[in-house]
A and B are shown apart, each in its own frame.
Chain A
Amino acid sequence: MLTILFDGIAYGMLLFVLACGLSVTLGLMNFVNLAHGAFAMAGGYVTVIMMNSYSISFYWCLPAAFIVTALAGVVLERLLYRRLYSASHLDQVLFSIGLVFMAIAAIDYFMGGQQQLINLPPELSGRFDFLGIDIGRYRLFIIVICAVLTVTLQLALTRTRFGSQLRAAVDDGRVARGMGINVSVIFALTFALGSGLAGLGGALGTELLGLDPNFPLKYLIYFMIVVTVGGTSSITGPFIAALLLGVADVAGKYYVPQLGAFIIYAVMILVLILRPHGLFSREGGR
């Protein structure tokens, strides 16, 4: 019971790291970026290549995954995404679906369609018993990393100059520009940060979620649920939504496997009917 809760929390934390970039682009910048999962997949494949082909330590792979995907994110943002911030949602959907298709086919071409496996360092694999709870070492590792990241993000958004500039830029881009904030640079940096985090999440999730070329589509619905259910008030909303989703999904698959993912979709639709702006919506803001 507690083990399921623990696994669920680890899963939820991972989902949060994967999805929090999307909660910024989709929730705050109002850009429907269905290609978010592609960045996560890129992070996963960076890890796989580095570990399996160059046998670099897992711990070095994580920052590398972050940096590579953040760079990819900033390049794509400057070249492509930037042009579509003011486009209609339909255009954004079409564009990002196109990007996902290209990413899937490209990965399939270079890496093959099979499931990718990595070997975790020995100190991270295995389980131990703590007060009667069966704890997976790797899951604990994920929880710790994600918790640190979450706190850092929250502090960065609320306490730093960059955070308040971002919030200003998102709330009202025109006024922010008038106040001398370079909105376009802020957006580019935020986009890079979001994709980088997705990449990091993908790297962390290779072991837990599995990695194959269909990753971006398979987990798209999960990211979207986190963002829409969590709302856009702060990163607390998506965080709580991700934890709930993680626990509900793990528990649901354990106790009522015949229902599968049915429950979470139904819950998502229900939430969207009752609270179209998510559970934790915010006043003001656009």
Chain B
Amino acid sequence: MSGERNNASKQAMGLLRHAGRWQIWELALWLATIAAIFVLPSQMLILTEIAILALFAVSLDLILGYAGIVSLGHTAFFGLGAYAAGLFAVHVSGEPVIGLMAAGLVSALFGFLTSFLVLRGSDLTRLMTTFGVAMLLAEVVNQAAWLTGGADGLSGIIIDPILGYFEFDLWGRTGYVYCLIVLVALTYIARRIVNSPFGLSLKAIKRNQRRASMLGISPTRRIVAIYTISAAYAGIAGALLTQTTSFVSPDVLAFHRSAEVLLVLVIGGAGYLYGGVFGAVIFSILRNWLSVITPQYWMFWIGLVLIIIVLVGRERLTRWQTLLPGSARKREAGMQQTVAEESK
């Protein structure tokens, strides 16, 4: 009996380890982002933007791709983090790393509190509550002008050199490296999370919540946990934006940001963590290209892209992921193989 159980848990461990194995394309991707520091020295600001957007999208992927929560107001946490970092720099200390952690903590706390709102009800209720929370925050920021500067934004943010050594330079090179390090570190942690038993149980909840709870997985606590983590990620992304631009405006809480990050994730494909990174790269290139052609009306083309994506079918468009070596589908086959080998 106990031998059987041992065997089963060994099998499960094998599965998880196989799924968590580093793939060549992952390493290549990160090497490319590092190479960009030297190859594209004039594009640092855009690259920083991409890194921040990628982190934001990864945080959305955690709840959308893994827990199946459709959020229309994910920018609430992004904006909160941005303001928290800004206020921290103005009132407490200009040290960026501590500010980053503080912003992450504030967002995590807010995410924890609001996570109870997304537990109940259907997709529609979740859409409405997340949307409502973001609007609520935007309104608070707009009205509390004494604290946040209102519609003019919070200015006068001075960010000290990172850890006292690396000063933010004019070309944004330090900023990019800083954002990249944070992105890599947090993606690594997220990778550990989604490939852990906890991550697997989240997928089970996404597929069928009732069945998951019958199997002894408590959806409530897991959703609260992942929502809090995701909020912290979004907050850190917002804080990075504040620290690299030294400015926060109510724009960080605007609806179009929530829509944008959804679009980014949809372009890249949800549910495998790198969708956010690929999506952010594609989206930013697309947007920069469009805003060169039609400065004022790029929104139109973005909208068109969205509609086409939906009509053609998200699965069909993001099928290219399966071409990546070691992609989900191949991985599944590999897993079965491993299981078969180990059970011999």
Binding site for B on A (CB under 8 A): 26, 30, 32, 80, 83-84, 87, 89-91, 93-95, 97-106, 108-109, 217, 220-221, 224, 228, 258-262, 265-266, 268-269, 272-273, 276-277
Q: Are A99 and B303 in contact (CB under 8 A)?
A: yes
- Report if B135 contacts A (CB, 8 A): yes
- Report if B121 contacts A (CB, 8 A): yes
- Report if B120 contacts A (CB, 8 A): yes
Smallest Cβ distance from A233 to chain B, in angstroms? Answer: 15
Q: Please pick, from A89, A105, A108, A259, the residue contacting B127 in the complex, using a CB distance under 8 A.
A: A89
- Report if B314 contacts A (CB, 8 A): yes
Smallest Cβ distance from A238 to chain B, in angstroms? Answer: 14
Smallest Cβ distance from A65 to chain B, in angstroms? Answer: 23
Binding site for A on B (CB under 8 A): 64, 70, 72, 117, 120-125, 127-129, 131-133, 135-136, 139-140, 142-143, 255-256, 259, 262-263, 266, 296-307, 309-311, 314
Smallest Cβ distance from B333 to chain A, in angstroms? Answer: 26
- Top 10 nearest A-B pairs by Cβ distance? A98-B306, A101-B303, A105-B300, A276-B121, A102-B303, A98-B307, A89-B123, A98-B303, A95-B310, A105-B299
Smallest Cβ distance from B267 to chain A, in angstroms? Answer: 10
Q: A99 contacts which chain B residues (CB < 8 A)?
A: 303, 307
Q: Please pick, from B133, B139, B259, B311, the residue contacting A97 in the complex, using a CB distance under 8 A.
A: B259
Q: Please pick, from B120, B139, B306, the residue contacting A94 in the complex, using a CB distance under 8 A.
A: B306
Q: Please pick, from B139, B302, B305, the residue contacting A262 in the complex, using a CB distance under 8 A.
A: B139
Question: In the docked arrangement, what's the CA distance between A268 and B128, Å?
Answer: 9
Q: A89 contacts which chain B residues (CB < 8 A)?
A: 70, 123-124, 127
Q: Please pick, from A83, A93, A103, A268, the residue contacting B311 in the complex, using a CB distance under 8 A.
A: A83
Question: In the docked arrangement, what's the CA distance between A92 and B258, Å?
Answer: 15
Question: In the docked arrangement, what's the CA distance between A273 and B119, Å?
Answer: 10
Q: A260 contacts which chain B residues (CB < 8 A)?
A: 139, 142-143
Question: In the docked arrangement, what's the CA distance between A100 and B255, Å?
Answer: 12
Q: B117 contacts which chain A residues (CB < 8 A)?
A: 269, 272-273
Q: B121 contacts which chain A residues (CB < 8 A)?
A: 272, 276-277
A-B contact list, 16 entries, CB within 8 Å: A30-B124, A90-B70, A97-B263, A98-B310, A100-B303, A101-B259, A101-B299, A108-B297, A109-B297, A221-B135, A224-B128, A261-B139, A268-B128, A268-B132, A269-B136, A276-B125
Smallest Cβ distance from B303 to chain A, in angstroms? Answer: 3
Known: A100-B303, A104-B299, A106-B300. A272 touches B128 (CB 8 A): yes
Q: Are B132 and A109 in contact (CB under 8 A)?
A: no
Q: Are B263 and A80 in contact (CB under 8 A)?
A: no
Smallest Cβ distance from B257 to chain A, in angstroms? Answer: 12
Most chain B Cβ neighbours within 10 Å, of A32, A105, A108, A259: A105
- Which residue in chain B gives the minimum CB-CB distance to A273? B117
Question: In the docked arrangement, what's the CA distance between A94 and B303, Å?
Answer: 9
Q: Please pick, from A26, A94, A108, A276, the residue contacting B262 in the complex, using a CB distance under 8 A.
A: A94
Q: Please pick, from A26, A83, A262, the residue contacting B124 in the complex, using a CB distance under 8 A.
A: A26
Q: B70 contacts which chain A residues (CB < 8 A)?
A: 89-90, 93
Q: Please pick, from B128, B143, B309, the residue contacting A258 in the complex, using a CB distance under 8 A.
A: B143
Q: A104 contacts which chain B residues (CB < 8 A)?
A: 299
Question: In the docked arrangement, what's the CA distance between A148 and B306, Å?
Answer: 39
Known pairs A93-B262, A228-B128, A258-B143 / 5 extra A-B pairs, C-beta < 8 Å: A94-B266, A101-B300, A221-B131, A221-B132, A262-B140
Q: Are B310 and A94 in contact (CB under 8 A)?
A: yes
Q: A262 contacts which chain B residues (CB < 8 A)?
A: 136, 139-140, 143
Question: In the docked arrangement, what's the CA distance between A83 and B308, Å?
Answer: 12
Known: A272-B121, A272-B125. A98 touches B136 (CB 8 A): no
- Which residue in chain A gives the minimum CB-CB distance to B143? A260
Known: A32-B124, A91-B314. A265 touches B299 (CB 8 A): no
Q: Are B143 and A259 in contact (CB under 8 A)?
A: yes
Q: A98 contacts which chain B residues (CB < 8 A)?
A: 302-307, 310
- Which residue in chain A gives the minimum CB-CB distance to B309? A94
Q: A103 contacts which chain B residues (CB < 8 A)?
A: 303
Q: Are A97 and B125 in contact (CB under 8 A)?
A: no
- Which residue in chain B gives the minimum CB-CB distance to A34? B72
Smallest Cβ distance from B148 to chain A, in angstroms? Answer: 14
Smallest Cβ distance from A190 to chain B, in angstroms? Answer: 18
Question: In the docked arrangement, what's the CA distance between A14 and B154, Å?
Answer: 37
Q: B72 contacts which chain A residues (CB < 8 A)?
A: 93
